[in-house]
Amino acid sequence: MAPALNSKSDPLHTDFCGLKLDSPIILLSGCVGFGEEYTRVEGFSNRDVGAIVLKGTTHEPRLGNAPHRVYETPMGMLNAIGLQNPGVDKVVDEILPGLDFTETRFIANVCGSTIEDYAAVTRRFDDSRIDAIEINISCPNIKEGGVSFGNDPDMSARVVEACRSQTSKPIIAKLSPNQTDIQKNAHRCIEAGADALAVINTVMGMAIDAETRRPVIGNVRGGLSGPAIKPIALLKVQQVYEIAGPRNIPIIGQGGITNATDAIEFIIAGATAIGIGTALFYDPLVCTRINAGLADYLARHELGSTSELVGALKI
């Protein structure tokens, strides 16, 4: 079990897959680059978050999709970056050594177009300082691989199983909302060796320019994130918790969280940790305010930690 970064007693300290987090907040993949972007924002501190999920990483470098890649919607954002990244060798050899592992936890995000790709990238990260590995079996930003894996429970399980064979680090399976039965997928991923689940990835969507009659996003479709998907994400977390809760499999609840009340709702639905993504683009210091709101809620309700609130939904 990894040692705590901060040994003092704090109601926000969270145990996640044996990792001691200073806060239940986890910064989501693709929103903070490779962990260094927000260190340049005045007032931001890695100590405000429990962990940072690094940008999606593939075996070989990727240039990503053609523009436009990002489009703002009334209550969210469409993105189709296409997994632009320098490849796993550069990430492990050049980027990870520059990260401060004494401040927070760092989680790799593994992507691939084949099962063999996923396994190879996982094996490379296993031989590194990374704290845990998130398996992106549901990425909607590429035309091959991710979508078919994430929407098919058996294929999802095969990917998790292949990655499990390559590492002893905690594995987090990132589940897609764009499937018929997310509970079945969750069950299969747990059986295949997932230690935790991230619920949910973005919802598929598109935008059209009425004047040109063409898609706004170069990839035609993209992943919708932000407050627009919060009700969907809450439901999926509650559904997955019915499967994961009895097995003591923790969930990262994510999708449209912008304040402490949102975070509390996700924890009540069954999330052990909460993921922040789109909100960072317009409020880089949102994590400080969410932490303060969580602490205030716990004090008002005489709760010793957020763990006492996990799955406390009354139906």
Which are the catalytic amino acids? Answer: 139
Strands 222-225 and 203-205: antiparallel
d(CA 186, CA 247): 11
Exposure letters 82-108 (e unless 16+ CB within 10 A, then b)? bbbbbebeebbeebbeebeeebbbbbb
The residue type of 108 is: A
What 3-state DSSP class applies to 142?
coil
Which pairing describes strands 208-209 and 214-215: parallel, antiparallel, or unpaired? antiparallel
Distance CA 71, CA 195 (A): 34
Length of the chain as a residue count: 315
Q: Which residue has the tokens 């627009």?
A: 228
